[in-house]
Structures are given as C-alpha cells and as structure tokens.
Amino acid sequence: MKQYSVLLAGVVVLMLISASCNSEKSKELVKKETTLQVPELSIQFDNKIDSIIALMTLEEKIGMLHGNSMFANKAVERLGIPELTMADGPLGVREEISRDSWAPAGWENDFATYYPAGGGLAATWNPELAHLFGNSVGEEARARGKDELLSPAINIIRTPLGGRTYEYFTEDPFLNAKMVVPFIVGVQQNDVAACVKHYAVNNQETNRDYVDVLVDERTLREIYLPAFKAAAIDAQAYSFMGAYNKFRGEYLCENSYMLQDILREEWGFQGIVISDWAAVHDTKKSLEAGTDIEMGTPKPFNEFFFADPLVQAVEQGEISEAEIDKHIKRILRVMFNLKTIDGIGQKKGSINTEAHFRDAYEIAAESVVLLKNDSGLLPMKMEGVQRIAVIGNNATKKNALGGYGAGVKTKREVTPLEGLKNRLPEGIEILYAEGYSERYAENEKAKFGDITLSGPVPINELEPELIEEALEAVRSSDLTIVFAGSNRDYETEASDRASLDLPFGQEALIEKVLEIDPNAIVVVIAGGPFDIQHVSEQSNALVWSWFNGSEGGNALADVLLGTVNPSGKLPWTMPKKLKESPAHATNSFPGDDSVTYEEGILVGYRWFDTKKVEPLYEFGYGLSYADFQYGDLVTDQQEYAETDTVYVNLDVSNLSNMDGKETVQLYVSAENSKVERAAKELKAFTKSLIPAGETIRLPLSFKVKDLAYYNVDKKAWEVEKGTYKLLIGASSRDIRGEATITVN
C-alpha cells in the first residue's frame, strides 16, 4: 500500500505553531493531513506470469493483444486466463453491447446507476465525493463482471464548444488532478481497473481521428499532463487509454514520446495502455511505442493491426516475440492484481442499489451552481403559492443515454419535473408546458465559419402553439421555473458545437416568459458553457445544473426549495462571447489537419485573468444561500525553502441562519517571475460545512515545489526564488484576502 496525501476526511492533525505568522491574530494554526490508501499495482506475480507466458503459443498471446469482441480481448482458456472485460464509462457502467457490433446486446439485467457527468462532479470541488463516485461505480463495474471501467475522462476543457465537455472535469490542471486521484482509488479498490482517458491532448472532437495537436512542451507539462501524471503516480491507475488524435506528428497510440518516455519512464507506469476504439494505425509502430491492447470497431477481429498482421510481423522477424511477451506480462500483471485469474478473494460488487442512487444524489446535490439570486428569490418562497408553471422541454428530458460511449441504461432517472413533484408540498398544482421542442434540421451539418462540423443543427424557431401554452401557464401561476440548456444529442462525442447559443429558440422563449413574470427562475441544464449573457441580464434567479445522474431531479428540487444549500462552483469559465475564450481569441480552433494551441499556458481563467478579459461567470464561481465572511489569511511562515510546505489558515464565518458549504480557493501569483506566468493559478482549495452563525478555521496547504514552472531548456520543474502573492477567494475573481511569501 502506498500512502498518498489528499484532502479527504481522515486523520486531522492539529498543531500549535509558535513561529512568526503573517497575522497577529493567528495564535494557532490548523494543519490537516489526510491519507488515502492507494492500492499499488504489485509486481509480486511477475515470476508466476513468466512461467505462464512460457506455456503460451504465439496465437494465444496475440489473441490477448486485440479486441476479440467489442469490449474484451481473447481468453486463453487452456491456461485459465479469462477475457479482460471492459465497459464504458464516465457516467456509469454502460449497457451491454453486442460482441460484434455496436448494437445493444438486449440484456434485461444490464441496468446501472446513472451518475452525474464529469463537469458536475468537478463542480462539487469535493474530493471526498470523487472517491465516493469512484467506489460506487467501481462496485457496479465489479458486479457486472467488468475488469476495466473506461473512465475517468479527464481531458482539459480547452474550448467551450467541446462535444465531450460534459464528460470531462475542468479547464484547470490542479482541480483535475485533485478530483481524479480519489476517483481512481475508489474504482480500483473494487478489483476493477480504471482506464484513464484520453491520453492526451484530446481536447476537441472535430477531426479527432487525425488532427495533429501542436502544443509547446511547457504547456503540455503544465496544463495538459498534470492530471494524467497524478493518475499514474499518485493514484496508481492500472490502465490508460491512448487517444485518437496525433501529437506532434504521431498518433497518440504510436507516440513513443508520450507512451514510453513520459508515461512509462518518467512516471513509472506499469499498467496497460489500451487504444481508443480504432485508434491504432500501424502494427509495429503502435506496439513498439507502448500500446498493449488494440480495441476497435467491428470488422473481423482477426483483421485488427494487433491480430493476423501481428502474427505475420512476428513470423517474418519484424517484431520479436520478446516484445510480445512484454505486453502480455503487463496485461497479466493487471489481471493478477484484479484477482481475475484465480478469482480468489475478488470483490463481488453491487449494482443498481438504493445506496448507489444515494451516492449519485449526494454528488448531484453538491454540483448545482447558483449563478444569480437577486432579491433572494431562491430558495423558493412557497407561502401563498398554489400553482407553479414549469416551462421547457428540459424539465422532462432524460439524459442518461445518448452522446455515444458515456450512455447508461438506468432504471431511475428523476427528471427536474419529477423532482419537483416529489419534493413540493402537497396540494401545489404544477402546470407543465414544453415551451420549445428539440428539433434538428434534417441532413444538415453544423457550420463553424467555413468549416463543416459533424454535429446536429438545431431548429431555433419556436412553435406558436407551444409558446402560447407556456405563456398561458405562466400567466395562471404564482411562480415560474423555466428549464433550458441542452441534452445528450446536442452535446455529444464525435462533434463539437458550432456556437454557444442556446438551441431550439430557448433564449426567445425565456425572454417572453420573463416579460410576464420577471421573477421566473431560470435553470440551465447542460454539460458545457453556453452563451447565457442575455438570460443572465434579464433574469433575477439563475441556476446551473448538469446531466446530473439518476437523482438529478430530486437534488435540483432540493436546491430550489432550500433543503440543500447550493455549493457547486464552476469548474470552467463561462465566457461572455466565444471569441473571448483563449482558443478562439487566438483563432486556433479547430485547425484542420493540425491545430496549434496558440494560447499556450493561458488556458481557461489563466487567459481571462492575464489578458484582463471579464468573463460572464468565472472559474470557481458559485453562490450560496448562506453569507460567508472571510477573515484574514494566515501563513505559518513568511519565508520558505524549496522543500517546505506552505500552511495557510483562514477563518470563515457563516453570517446567515442556514448551514452551508463553502469552497475556499487559494491562488498564487508569481508576479516577479522571469518567465511568462498566468496572473494566478489555483494551488489549493478546501470545501467545508460552516454551520449557521459559526466561524470555522479552514486549513489549506501546498508544497513550495508546486510553485514551479516547467523549464524547457533544463527539462525540469524549476521553483523561482523570490516573492509570491497568495490570493484567497470564493472564486478566481472574488478574491477576499492576500498574503505575500518569499521562497529562498
């Protein structure tokens, strides 16, 4: 077992510090040290594995190196080696797919819990919930007999248009890493391997099958790799998925710089690399670069690059059998660690249980982001309310399935409308009106400038009867909630959106509703940013929710009604205009055969803050019904050495009469750096329950070495000596306190 420190509930160490502090008020400094047991990929079976490999024929070995059905390689029954079984994905265990086609297998017992999508989990800013999620979905994967869960998906949100933004976590590498580690540990403690995807720089769906991503080394190291590195080292992930695209001229599944030099040599990864489905293009290059298993889309499985062509390559002496054995050893190592081969002591798991629905609820409840709450419209004031108008197709839209690999077949998906019905006091009448309908132009593809994307084109004209019905419902009600946003057909794998506009005429509908009821509550349900500037200006109460899992509707209703105090914070920047976000301001999306990440390290809020561009809602933003007051920022010292840890404390008071959770964020600004730096970078955060009327001292910390930038010339991380400004805030822009430290 490896001990890994992470901010999770566990051992809390209180220490009295008498050293000089940045504030006189500080008498004692609270330090929180917590540990998470990380199951390491053990090499204890290696001798046994060598003796098994010695018994295998070449054909048996090669059968293990490629898909022999849609989601498994080939067993070697003679030697007691079962298939390595896999299942998507990030929102829960995907329904069973046919062995030789993408069609559902039609099972009756492949229902699973639908968990909140990645953006929702990240919006909780709660690593404990990431662990809960990982463990819960890990139990489900085990119960379905899956060795590998093709999750988590952790690519950085580079463009707000990204079709898979909902699956991914965030635009920030630090938040990404902090959430992914406990998630993976949770999955793997169930004898299920996490498969971390998509390694790497797979940040757009447009041209994903071939686009060559050109990103400078420093940006690669500082922005796109940290969460993968944490997955490999801190979480000991058992497997990685090689992405579809190219990086610096080589496909990721044949990129020895990424797979060999960085993943295996620098990070010491001992697990297996699985290709994304049909992401292998060359037998020898791909195998020798470090891909272990080629998975793919249906064609005769023996025609895969790692099937008959590989047998021939070995027979013709182009690839050595020792090379083959290396890959088999990695696969068997993972299988032994998962107890798949002998099955002795392997966990049993559980699926579709009330406990798991409860887990999905917990995550959803902390993910909802309160964007605007003028005049305290929320939580909903129910006194005298007899009728509520619920407007919008998204009130009833289900989002568990769709968008390709991340779909889940579930027995429970509580929609927002159902959630309200479940939670509203008895006797309140709900007038539901669809308002807009989800319609797409047939045979049309979305256009981004001159470029044709492959996504659907929404029809934005409202239908007069639907508007009339909706407005009538608003007129006859005491309170209105409009549900807008998108869905899993519009935000999907394999295409990016062509614009940030709300689809299906929603903006016009919301405007009409607000004309009648200016206090209508607007709820946006989506996976990625949308242009809601106009809606935000017009409305007084604005709430953001996600593709939020089996219990999403209940969690949302609890937030609207105030049973749950909202505590979600945005995991990415919501720009005012697409053109102002970095990939678009630099005209470097989507490229063509290649795309150069011109904004470099200035991804997300790093761009907005450094270039002084005001976003609509910034990274880390989210309101509460409670009112939190921040005290002074206190550090344990003023001067630090490179090997030190900086301990920070902050008193936060809840001035309201409602308990609430607050995520305090610590950013660092390296103002005197000799290299380009972002105006600020997130270096620590902590989320805590602060009871009504109480003050709590919150501990945060980071290592001085985390202040380093990547020095490309030296090929090393370098901490610059000098002063750094610590900025503590309720978001990346709502900075409430500062302190300066010096690194000597």
Residues annotated catalytic, as ranges = 276
In the complex, minimum distance from the CB of residue 397 to ligand BGC, in angstroms, rounded to a whole number: 23
Q: Given the complex with ligand BGC, which of 178 and 197 has the nearer CB atom?
A: 197
Is 152 near ligand BGC (CB under 6 A)? no
Unique residue bearing structure tokens 């407005």: 471
Give DSSP secondary structure letters for 465-529. Answer: HHHHHHHHHHHT-SEEEEEEE--TTTS-TT---S--SPSTTHHHHHHHHHHH-TT-EEEEE-SS-
- Closer to ligand BGC by Cβ: residue 90 or 615: 90
Phi, psi of 117 (to 5 degrees): -70, 165
Check residue 407 for interaction with ligand BGC (CB under 6 A). Answer: no
Short-list 222, 259, 175, 257, CA closest to 711 = 222
> Of 88, 139, 212, 609, which lies in the binding site for ligand BGC, with binding defined by CB under 6 A?
88
Tokens of 2: 């490896």
With CB under 6 A as the contact rule, the residue among 197, 356, 397, 488 that binds ligand BGC is 197
> Cβ(333)–Cβ(325) under 8 Å?
no
What x-and-dash track marks residues 685-724 binding ligand BGC by CB under 6 A?
Answer: ----------------------------------------
Bridge partners of residue 148, in order along the sequence: 86, 193
Shortest CB 90 distance to ligand BGC, Å: 8
What is the smallest separation between the CB atom of 75 and ligand BGC, expressed in angstroms? 20
Interface with ligand BGC, residue 205, by CB under 6 A: no
Specify the residue, 127 or 296, whose C-beta has the smaller distance to ligand BGC: 296
Pick 103 or 355: Cβ nearer ligand BGC: 103
Toward ligand BGC, which CB reaches closer, 91 or 263? 91
Residue 490's closest CA among 544, 453, 532? Answer: 453
Which one of 150, 263, 328, 514 is in contact with ligand BGC (CB under 6 A)?
Answer: 150
**What type of residue is 20?**
S
Cβ-closest position to ligand BGC: 405
Structure tokens at 331: 């696969």
Residues of this chain, 257-296, that bind ligand BGC according to CB under 6 A: 276-277
Q: What is the largest CA-CA distance in the chain?
A: 83
| Binding residue for ligand BGC, selected from 89, 127, 162, 290, defined by CB under 6 A | 89
* 137/141 Cα distance (integer angstroms): 6
Our finding on whether 166 is near ligand BGC (CB under 6 A) is: no
| Shortest distance, position 590 Cβ to ligand BGC, whole Å | 17
Confirm or reject binding of residue 405 to ligand BGC (CB under 6 A). Answer: yes
161 backbone φψ class: left, alpha, beta (φ>0; ψ -120 to 50):
alpha
- Residue 91 sits in the site that holds ligand BGC (CB under 6 A): no
- For 29, the 3-state DSSP assignment is strand
Q: Find the shortest distance in angstroms from Cβ 519 to ligand BGC.
A: 42
Looking up tokens 């979600």 gives 568
Nearest of 151, 292, 213 to residue 593 by alpha carbon: 213
Alpha helices, H only, 107-241: 118-124, 127-143, 173-188, 217-219, 226-233
- The answer to whether residue 66 forms part of the interface with ligand BGC (CB under 6 A) is no
What mask of x and - would describe binding to ligand BGC in positions 667 to 686, judged by CB under 6 A? --------------------
Burial class (CB in 10 A: 0-12, 13-18, 19+), 643: exposed
Where along the sequence are the contacts to ligand BGC (CB under 6 A)? 88-89, 150, 197, 276-277, 405
